[in-house]
Amino acid sequence: MTVDLGLTSDQEAIAELFDGFFSNESPTTIARAAEPFGFDADLWSKVIELGAPGMGSAAEVGGGEASLSDLVVVAEAVGRSIAPIPLIEHLAALAVLDDADLVAGSAIATLALRPADADGLWRLVPAGVVADVVVGVDGDDLVVVRSAPPMSGPRNHASAPLADRSARTGDRTVLGPASAFQPVIDRWKVLTSAALVGIAEAAQKLGVDYVMEREQFGVPVGSFQAVQHGLADLPVLIDGGRLLTHKAAWALGRDESGILDWRSNDITDGTALAAMAFVFTSDGAAVATDRSLHYHGGYGFAEEYDIQLYYRRARGWSLVLGDPTDECLALSDRLYGPVEN
Amino acid sequence: MDFSLSDDVLAYRSKIRSIVAETVTPDVIERMHTTGTFDAPELNRALGTQGFLERATPGLGVGDPIELWVLFNELEKAGAPYDGLAVALMIAGVVNLLGTDEQKERILPSIISGEALVCMGYSEADYGSDVASIKTRAVKDGDEWTINGSKMWTTMAHEARWLILLTRTDVDLPKHKGLTMFILPMDTPGITVDPVHTLGTERTNATYYDNVRVGDEAVLGGVNNGWRTMVSVLAFERGVMGGSNAAIPLLRHFHDWAQEVGIFEQPITRERMARAAIDMQVASLLTQRSAWIAASGGSPGLEGSMTKVFAAEAYQRISRWTQETAGPLGLLQFHEAGAAGEGFVEYDARHSPVVTIYGGTTEINRNNIAERHLGLPKSR
């Protein structure tokens, strides 16, 4: 074992398969048509044919045994295409669920990112509009609830299928203590980070293509240094985010517990790295979509151009977890030790 | 991706850590900050004696570039004075890559034993980023070259045994084509060194060349091929030799001070500390990527530009907020009572401005990224 920062040949094949699939089956017209709730049932049935919903599950329950690092590659492709399917939530929830219909994808699972409130309500659950099964924390317990999806929810910035779901009404099972949720949320953060890297990369490409095509003062807008330098900040946010996301996936996939030695910048703790990747890629996707939109000029603000689709999802896909400052404070506690509040 | 360090690399790292612990004493760090000479001969010799410099020299030793990254990352995280060593190994790598057998035999042993340093004469008073326009002339007369001109920012010239010198040898060729690199001893007659003191304490120099005479044995990488030699050096410089985790020692000093004076609990400080740790991880991973590309036989020039832009700005962000958070105590210098982070908060606020300038400015690196990575048109 030694440092190898390339994708495996299997992962390269996965990237090619999913990028090809999404560019054929989910051009941005599909994301537009799926607004405002962000779900395309037809597209979901097509990813079932690819075996994607059960990709990360164990072979004995019919899954594909893919590693978290492999799923990161899939999640990046989801981000690049902003495909309107809840694959990331589903793959994260399946860290602790193995019902046959979920592995097959004929039922959809998701996770509640924050504990249920006093009334037993999980607020603004991602994929809550369409999920048949929700896993999340209620009080001291990690519970899974199977109930009929509402098939509607509040209109929102990202046109994401967010909806409130009950932690107590429906077919409810206690899976374990609330602490058993950590692997699920870590997995969701890593996969969402990958999707945000995909969003940032797609936004960069839209921006570069536009500034090469658009001419002002008789030359492409992209020949101006002020524009070039604004775009030149993006590749490092994309590559840095990708490396950090893969490091988090690698760390979470190891049997041994990780190191948290911030004094030597030696960090292999999966939970800390997942939080780091999430904060960094959330910021990176926000910056990349903002710059790209800006360099489109007025057209970037027009609904007709695709950059606005990415701009809204860059924010929506990460802010469902909460204020990034809270994520930073939790990370600070993990790295430097908790403080009394 | 696999982020594990091999057992060999881990063993190498632990040896480096013990050499650093033995040789980079508080006195050595103190000396660096009083003299402005960012070099520790005792460290260099200890590393050289044990064969670690030979191992780490790009393309020369048995060690792979991951070890080169580990060496400089450890030195940087320890706050050790390593600037002299980094330049020396960079040039050792270039001599190994482009030098003649005679040059390798004559020059390399002195560097990889940790005895000799090298200084770099590229920039001139009037030519910094536009270094291909330099005016220092080398003229061939019979078997000898005569060099006249001057250089700026020749850091370590007052300590170095060797000088690598970019000259113009053909004024009729386009500016990138008429350049030649020389490598010559600093005690060659006709060279004078004047100190230039900097905001960050580090001493650098202006150097002057008055009828300096050398033979063909001093030409490095071929006559009129100096630009290629230059690019080879920069690929090493922006790749893996430090410059990515400069804020780690600062964060240690700041953290311990903030805990001691009871301001660490403030949410804004904890948020900033978390963001700083993220930036340092990313900078480290980007550097590791350059090392991995080099280890896989590639040349990480473009990736080095990306790493340098990110890491340099991250260090500047961190040095700015640590000083702001410390308030007036962040103004106090080394040895003053109450100085935040034992004075490092003030020091890093003075030192960090240089990192977006030296080794290729952030603007030059953004040009590289825009043109070579994004495929945008040349803008100058």
Q: Which domains does chain A have, with CATH numbers?
A: 182-336 (1.20.140.10)
Residues of A in contact with B371 (CB under 8 A): 228
Residues of A in contact with B370 (CB under 8 A): 225, 228-229, 231-232
- The answer on B84 and B56 residing in a single domain is yes
For A207, which residue in chain B has the nearest alpha carbon? B374
- The answer on B252 and B368 residing in a single domain is yes
Q: Which residues pair with B126 in a beta bridge?
A: none
Residue B207 tokens read as 């150097």
- The answer on B129 and B107 residing in a single domain is no
CATH number for B201: 2.40.110.10
CATH number for B265: 1.20.140.10
Cα separation, B243 vs B238, whole angstroms: 8
Contact A240 B286 (CB under 8 A): yes
Residues with Cβ within 8 Å of residue B203, at least 6 apart in sequence: B35, B36, B37, B155, B158, B195, B196, B197
DSSP notation for B7-36:
HHHHHHHHHHHHHHHHHS-HHHHHHHHHH-
pLDDT on residue A34: 97
Neighbouring CB atoms inside 10 A of A65's CB total 12
pLDDT on residue B302: 87
| Residue B243 within any structural domain of the chain | yes
Residues with Cβ within 8 Å of residue B272, at least 6 apart in sequence: B318, B321, B325
| Residues in chain A with pLDDT values less than 50 | none
A329 at B interface, C-beta within 8 A: yes
B285 at A interface, C-beta within 8 A: yes
Q: Give per-residue pLDDT as tens, B73-114.
A: 999 999 999 999 999 998 998 999 899 999 999 999 999 999
Cis status, amide bond into B174, omega within 30 of 0? no
Cα separation, A232 vs B130, whole angstroms: 20
| Residue B231 within any structural domain of the chain | no
Contact B285 A244 (CB under 8 A): yes
| Residues in chain B with pLDDT values less than 70 | 61-64, 236-240
Contact B66 A231 (CB under 8 A): no
**Which of the residues B54, B67, B76, B237 is marked catalytic?**
B237
| Residue B101 within any structural domain of the chain | yes
According to DSSP, residue B371 is labeled: I
A226 at B interface, C-beta within 8 A: no
pLDDT on residue A341: 54
Asked which of B87, B117, B147 is the last residue of a domain, the reply is B117
- The answer on B150 and B65 residing in a single domain is no
Contact B282 A263 (CB under 8 A): no
For A283, which residue in chain B has the nearest alpha carbon? B275
B281 at A interface, C-beta within 8 A: yes
- The answer on B135 and B61 residing in a single domain is no
Residue B140 tokens read as 């061939």
- The answer on B167 and B83 residing in a single domain is no
Neighbouring CB atoms inside 10 A of B208's CB total 17
- The answer on B256 and B185 residing in a single domain is no
| Residue B380 within any structural domain of the chain | no
Residues 278-317 of A with CB under 8 A from B: 279-280
Active site residue B237: yes
Residues of A in contact with B296 (CB under 8 A): 6
Residues of B in contact with A225 (CB under 8 A): 367, 370, 379-380
DSSP notation for A229-249:
HHHHTHHHHHHHHHHHHHHHH
Asked which of B200, B226, B252 is the last residue of a domain, the reply is B226
CATH number for B76: 1.10.540.10
Gap from B255 CA to chain A (nearest CA, Å): 9
| Residue B66 within any structural domain of the chain | yes
- The answer on B24 and B94 residing in a single domain is yes
Residue A238 tokens read as 């994309």
| Residue B140 within any structural domain of the chain | yes
- The answer on B359 and B252 residing in a single domain is yes
| Residue B2 within any structural domain of the chain | no
Q: Which of A133, A227, A307, A139 is nearest to B366 (CA)?
A: A227
For A251, which residue in chain B has the nearest alpha carbon? B3
Residue A34 tokens read as 């799926």
B265 at A interface, C-beta within 8 A: yes
- The answer on B175 and B215 residing in a single domain is yes
Contact B289 A239 (CB under 8 A): yes
A-B interface: how many C-beta pairs under 8 angstroms?
A: 169
pLDDT on residue B199: 95
Residues 37-66 of A with CB under 8 A from B: none
B297 at A interface, C-beta within 8 A: no
- The answer on B138 and B111 residing in a single domain is no
Element (H, E) at A110: strand A109-111
B21: containing domain: 7-117
Closest partner CB to A328 (pick from B252, B274, B286): B274
- HEC secondary structure over B331-362: HCCCCCCCCHHHHHHHHHHHHHHHHHCCCCCH
Mutate to test the interface with B, among A10, A211, A332, A339 (most CBs of B within 10 A): A332
Cα separation, B279 vs B276, whole angstroms: 5
**Is the complex ipTM more than 0.95?**
yes
Contact A229 B363 (CB under 8 A): yes
| Residue B378 within any structural domain of the chain | no
Cα separation, B130 vs B135, whole angstroms: 11
Contact A222 B245 (CB under 8 A): no
A251 at B interface, C-beta within 8 A: yes
Split into its structural domains, chain B has a count of 3
Closest partner CB to B281 (pick from A239, A265, A333): A265
pLDDT on residue B61: 65
Residues with Cβ within 8 Å of residue A230, at least 6 apart in sequence: A291, A294, A295
Whole-structure pTM value: 0.96
pLDDT on residue A182: 97
Asked which of B226, B258, B283 is the last residue of a domain, the reply is B226
Size of chain A in residues: 341
- The answer on B246 and B348 residing in a single domain is yes
Residues with Cβ within 8 Å of residue B139, at least 6 apart in sequence: B145, B146, B169
